Amino acid sequence: MPAMGIVPAPWNQPFGEHFSEFFGHIIWLWSIELVRRDLRNRITGEPDAEYPVEAR
C-alpha cells in the first residue's frame, strides 16, 4: 500500500501502528487456527496429528 500512496512508508508510520499490526496478526492467526482445528475435527472425527490417540 505504500507503493500506491495509500499509507505512508513503514519508517514514516508511528510505532503504535506497528505494535497494533503485530498483535492484531497474532490474534487473527490464532483464531483462524482454532476454526481450522474445529472444522477438521468435525469433518474427520479425528484430532490433529500432534495429539496421539491413546487406546482405551
- pTM of the predicted model over 0.75: no
SS3 state of residue 54: coil
Average pLDDT, the chain: 86
Residue 28's nearest CA partner among 16, 20, 17 is 20
pLDDT band at 56 (very low <50, low <70, confident <90, very high): low
Beta carbons of 53 and 47 less than 8 angstroms apart: yes
Beta carbons of 1 and 7 less than 8 angstroms apart: yes
Beta carbons of 10 and 16 less than 8 angstroms apart: no
The more confidently predicted of residues 53 and 24 is 24
CA angle in degrees (0–180, nearest 5) for 15-18-37: 150
